[in-house]
Structure 1
Amino acid sequence: MARLFGLLLLIAGVLYPFAVYYGLEHWSPRVFAALLGGLWLARALTARRRPGGLWLAVAALVFCLLLGVANEPALLRWYPVLLNLMLLALFGLSLKFGPPLVERMARLREPELPDVAVRYTRTVTKVWALFFLGNTVLLMALAMWAPLSWWTLYTGFISYGLIGLLFAGEWLIRQQVRKHE
């Protein structure tokens, strides 16, 4: 059940910019708050307890509560900012309290990582943290000053393209690092 709610949150996150762009004419921000809040609450109640998992859900639920109470359309643009801040915190805090998030993921496939791989995964975690920091700043600027169409274009297409480029670039670099091991 937890996977279902996780998948639904992922789909909602991907479709969110388009729902905001097209849905503002038909729905109040309270509808968005109720739908997102319901998904996050279901996720919090059914997910395995992982470090940080509960505070991520609590932050999202607080946002949904604020959105529902304020019923302010401009707040809808801040949900992607919140998601990026959560990802920045996840990657950044893993650097401080370790092991770095990318190292944890790498150890799922290869439990005994060589020292060079541990250093590499730490660097990749830093790159992702920097990406989410820059993306958050840009999303904040778009939320405050850009027309809704620009915000939708960036949050619905461009940011995902940048994430894909970062994934692809990292994969290419990893292949080169592995060749030289």
Structure 2
Amino acid sequence: MTALLQALTLILLLGYPLAVYFGLQYLPGNLLALVIAALLLLRLMLQRQQVKALIAPLILGLALTIGSAIAKQQQWLLFYPLVINAAMLVLFAGSLWKTPCMVERLARITEPDLPDSARPYLRNVTRLWCGLFVINGSAALYTATCSSIQTWTLYNGFIAYLLIGTLAGGEWLYRHFWLTRS
């Protein structure tokens, strides 16, 4: 049951931009903020047994959504993608000061026998991810403060995922190809 709830909350949180877009248009008052807060609280309770580094963005998201409901400021809901990008930036950048770096840790999940010669490459890819989180976070901030809800939804609900998927897939393909040639 826990695995099912984790999968469900992950899918729902990935759809956060679409939920905000439709919720702001069709749900009364602060109901959207309260629904998202409940979802984040459930995810936080489930996450305690998983990756502890992801607890901070969940708590910040919970604070944003509860604050949004209390202050009746639905605009605050638009800042959650910024929180996620900032948390991921801290996580990835922080891993550059210790070994293994974040991309190496992730790569070793599927390829545990990576050669030591791959470490510099994986550190550079971690830096590349940091750059992407800076770009995505900047765009999330800009779209939350200076654009329409449609632009915010397009960027945070589609373009950001497209960029993340392109980097993740492209890097995996390159690493897979690169490792087989070394």
Task: Give the TM-score, by structure 2 length.
Answer: 0.85
1:52-67 alignment to 2 at 5 Å? 52-67=53-68
RMSD: 2.2
Does the 8 Å CA contact 2:68/2:76 hold for their aligned counterparts?
yes
CA contact (8 A) 1:5 1:39 kept: no
Structure 2 counterparts to residues 120-135 of structure 1, below 5 A: 120-135=121-136
Of structures 1 and 2, the one scoring higher in RCO (CA 8 A, sep 6+) is: 1
- Give 1:115 shift: 1.5
Shift of 1:29: 6.0
Say whether the 8 Å CA contact 2:68–2:75 is kept in structure 1: no
Instruction: Name the counterpart of 2:16.
Output: 16
Q: CA deviation at 1:146?
A: 0.8
Shift of 1:40: 2.1
Residues 32, 131 of structure 1: alpha-carbon distance in 2 compared, 3 angstrom cutoff:
same
Q: Secondary structure of 1:113's match?
A: coil
Q: Which runs of 5 or more residues in structure 2 are unaligned?
A: none
Counterpart contact for 2:64–2:76, Cα < 8 Å: no
For 1:108, the equivalent position in structure 2 comes to 109
Partner Cα distance (1:2, 1:89) in 2: 28
Is it true that 1:119 corresponds to 2:126 in the alignment?
A: no
Taking structure 1 as reference, are residues 12 and 101 closer, same or farther at Cα in structure 2, changes over 3 Å only?
A: same
Farther off after superposition, 22-31 or 76-85: 22-31
Offset from partner CA, 1:104-138 (integer Å, 9 cap, x none): 12222333431222222211111111101111001
The runs of 4+ residues in structure 1 deviating greater than 6 Å are none
The separation in 2 between residues aligned to 1:17 and 1:29, in whole angstroms, is: 18
Q: Across the two proteins, how many residue pairs are aligned to each other?
A: 181
Range that drifts further, 137-146 or 165-174: 165-174
Letter paired with 1:142: T
Matches within 5 A, 1:2-151: 2-28=2-28, 30-47=30-47, 48-151=49-152
CA contact (8 A) 2:65 2:77 kept: no
**Greater Cα offset, 50-59 or 83-92:** 50-59
**In 2, distance between residues paired with 1:67 and 1:99?**
38
Calculate the TM-score normalised by the size of structure 1.
Answer: 0.86
Does the CA-based 8 Å contact 1:84-1:135 persist in structure 2? yes
Residues in 2 aligned to 1:140 and 1:82: alpha-carbon distance in whole angstroms: 9
Measure how far apart 1:49 and its partner are.
Answer: 4.9
Identity %: 35
